[in-house]
Structure 1
Amino acid sequence: AAVELLAAGWRVLANGKPFRPATAFAARVRSGQSWFEVEGNIEFDGERLALPELLRAARRGQRLVELGDGSFGLLPEAWLTRLGVLGADDAGAGKVRVPRSQLLFLDELASAEAGVSVDAAFQRLREELRAFAELSPAEPPPTFRGELRDYQRQGLAWMQLLGRSGFGGCLADDMGLGKTVQVLALLLGRKRRRRSLPSLVVAPSSVVFNWAEEARRFAPSLRAVIHAGPTRAPLEEALQRADVIVTSYALLRREAPAFTAAEFDCVILDEAQAIKNHETETAKVARALRASARLTMTGTPIENHLGELASQLEFLNPGLLGSSPRLAKALLSGHADAETLQLVQRAVKPFLLRRTKREVARELPERVEQDVFVELGKRERRRYDELLRHYRRRIEDQVAKVGLTRSTPQVLEALLRLRQAACHPGLIDPARRVEPSAKLDRVIEEIERIGELGERCLVFSQFTSLLAILRDRLDARGVRYEYLDGRTRHRQAAVERFQSSEGAPVFLISLLAGGVGLNLTAAEHVLLLDPWWNPAVEAQAIDRSHRIGQTRTVFAYKLIARGTVEEKVIALQKEKRALAEAILGDGAGLGGKLTREDLEVLLG
């Protein structure tokens, strides 16, 4: 009531002491190396209050502050909001220091109050960040192999701007829009500008080797070193010879002292939801890393979930949360008044870049295909290698006795068993159905990520036994799915249920039963669990989704177990298509097409 009375011109007293309305706010902002120094005061009808006292009151949510003459100053609600989010420290002499990462909170204050003046450095920085939405697309360096689409070049320009301005950013494009290639183009540019320090990419173990593949394909001049596996060299060696080091979150924790002692040019956290909880060891080690620039990558929508984003923001721009209880509440819990949340959203917006597939659909081809490499776990690798040695000895003995042509059945059996071992140990020994599998773990990750986007997927496998194991995993997680193999009696009913608006998010399909004749346009993702080295068969599976009636881009992912016969046959396929077709066919004529050299590659 006092606010309305003061606004109407009334004089308000409490215990004989007058209430004074706020009449003016004056402040000067000066830029420092990693902070802004703000000196100012607020005037209440002739009485002044220094900025440090004002901020303390705002943090406590006080509308009333006691003034020097014993009267009370009444703070406007809007000022409480704008001042309450500042994580400022008292610098003495009526001044406060605000972390550089809170530039946009200060900008909100300066824009709203005519009495706030800023220096040239602050003005230049605020103009750069205000213009981020109108950035001209950047061209990748000449050493980049491939072509970036317009939205990817826009993303590159955004990352370059943040780097120049000294801020970190979260690249949150939809899954499948090529976040990795944008970051590789950025790293090539940073290397080109004679930056001597290596960069660091931290990713889930399941995608570490995909980074190496993508770097080899798009940035071959970038010396990418994988710091993973039991035979890895010490980190100190990698630091000496790498342009970019790729490691896992598990190793980041395990070798925390070495990583936090090193100095990097740029640190990138892939699948950055790994630091979602700011109290975990992973998040603490990530924040302790030393780097000139920081980026996070995630395909999970985040604009409306500030609480989940808080830890990433603090990693990207240390001090953003500051010491403000109001801001901490808004970000860490996601529960705050609407005005504060809107202020926070505006202030962090330049540090987030998210494009959905629907937004950039005009630039996308109708179908995007990607090879996804999976690294076998230690136990899986040991068993696979044992099986490989067994079949290598057996085939060598057989060929020596009867020749290559008459050894065709044994060769086909060896290739089948090795392909099964690359997928899951339960395909070789049913007693091991419940054991973990790197490939199946990755499939579950992809299914859950697609589900988080509110989208659907088809999952194909040649092996119904692998689909059965996957069904058990999905059942345990409560994930709804449709299933179709050669024994499914009511195929059309399953298709219609999936195609409906309330359909299950996943459709598991046997290649032989569902590779042709199905219309499944409700899905825009296709997961190929075991590679079909006959391209026509693979294309038919993808065409279940990519067909007339499909209005969205289809994303197809082929999972390949690294260092197994899967990877080797795919490599051979490019050179000897006839060989690949013979292996996947009925074996007729295999002896005439398969040479000893080919056999050494496959079983080497």
Structure 2
Amino acid sequence: MSVLQFYGASGNNSVKCSLISLERFQVELSGFDDGLINILKTIPSRYYNPQTRIWSFLIKDYELLLQKLEQLKPRIIVEQIPQFALKCIKATNQEVNIEFDKLDPVLAATLLPFQIDGLKFGIDKKGRCLIGDEMGLGKTFQALAIANYYKEDWPLLIITTSTMKTQWEETIVTYLPSIPILQVQYMITAKDYIGESKILIVSYDMMSRCCEKISQRNFGVMIVDESHTLKSFKSKCFLSAAKVASKAKRVILLSGTPALSRPSELYTQLSLLDKSFFGSFYNYSQRYCDAKITKFGRDCNGHSNLQELEVILAKKFMIRRTKEQVMKSIPNKKQEVITLDTKLNELTEEDRKCLNILFQEYQMQKGVNKHAALLTFFGETAKIKIPAICSYIKPLLSRKDKFLIFAHHKVMLNAVENLIKLANIKYIRIDGNTTTDQRKYFIKKFQTDDKYLCAVLSITATNAGISLTAAKLVLFAELHWNPSILSQAEARAHRIGQEETVLIQYLLCPGTADDAIWPMLQEKQRTLSAVGLCRDSFETVAIKKHKSSSDNDVLSQSAITNYLTPTKKPKLESDVFDDGLDEILCKSVIEYNDSKDAELLDDGLDDLFCEIEF
């Protein structure tokens, strides 16, 4: 192979520069150019990787390289590192000495060493930061510590989901006893008087509906819990939060999953912390979202320069630690994929034909139609998997060990619940119908009463805000579109307070929508991992096969025959979806969490699906 073939075709070449760390940047070449290669060889700190064909240099040599590349213009086009990125890495961090007398003594005594580091980070960023620690590491304590440190700037506004209201109130009362309870208020209606509250807790829905009233209160410190909820800059939630944040001196964002699937979801959160840093979403998307012009408009769902974005996040905006990094005492978790025998061969010829049609339609479709076809396939998969799931769970009920089982569709939740009832086992179920008081009662029962062995949980209603460390086994009867949501669900058991290794098992059925969703999750993990927002990898998870005998089958395949009926594709607007239903799912979760009619929903999603015309 010639040198020319090795690099690619010659011609009008480009050079793209991007950061790979605080000390080094890399140079990617679009093609071979002898003069360009000779210049790169003259830079003292050069390093060439023959596997990736990428050059890298010390930051101190960046200006020197640009000067030497000037002589190759216009033959060589240079894509430079943005000025905001260079300015960011050149900024020096000041040594932070925490004045602990500014903190409530009870809260100060509670903070673990890594949480104190989180407080230092927040102080270094002048109270405008994103605490992105993995789920279960006490982001609430760190946020309250930063807010308490800047108490002179209060009143304090806490924006959260309605299901987390109780947890915030209890934490404040317990760990900030210096704040009179009468000065801690939860806004219930738009008519509530909020003029004298030192701490106001509002739901996302209430903030959207009462933005003007809340903004007039001029909150100096603002905590945004589950800040990834604001991922869409067109949403009313984000626009309201941005208006309030523009007046706040300190803004603290909390999210164990800052980006659910792509870099574009980070921009809204980062703009709350520093609106002018990137200049505009256009600049951000061009650099980090691989923005392209399509026949439908500008597509910003891609990703580019992720190493550079990770460097900027860590330097300017976000602190993120994993359990393995900061809590050596937390036992490990072990992930497994269990492939179940769905006995598809026992279906009638008509039902098998219907299943094949759904799968083929999904494979053939593109764009929005592909998403719609997958949604239909996903719904049918829940019904198909019921016998295999119940067959797998039945032996577990006789072991007397506590476990969690997550599902998405109501038909699956009901089937599992009925199985447990028949076994005469005590259990809890939490889904969209469960009120805040009921959640609290159920969680306490599961954690403290040895007779309660199983927790039947909706993925979308329980992936955050609860601790179920009494369980050592976590089962997923169904998947979710986002790996971050699955990680959050895993963390209900694998978190501070867990004393034993947690086994996570994903129960997949070949020949169903699991075959399409699992690779999608792996691809999203790769993207999030590149920007430092995901440590797990489903590509390395051990795979085990489970084959149930006919004697142990709880339900026969004939019992679900009537579920498999041909359906029409859902009629959905093209602007609803972005990369596979993430937007519509997120929207539904917000509606469940914040709706005053939340008790009418099942798990925050099924009602939405039922509204789709087939």
TM-score (norm 2): 0.44
Which has the greater radius of gyration?
A: 1
Ranked by relative contact order (alpha carbons within 8 Å, sequence separation 6 or more), the top structure is 2
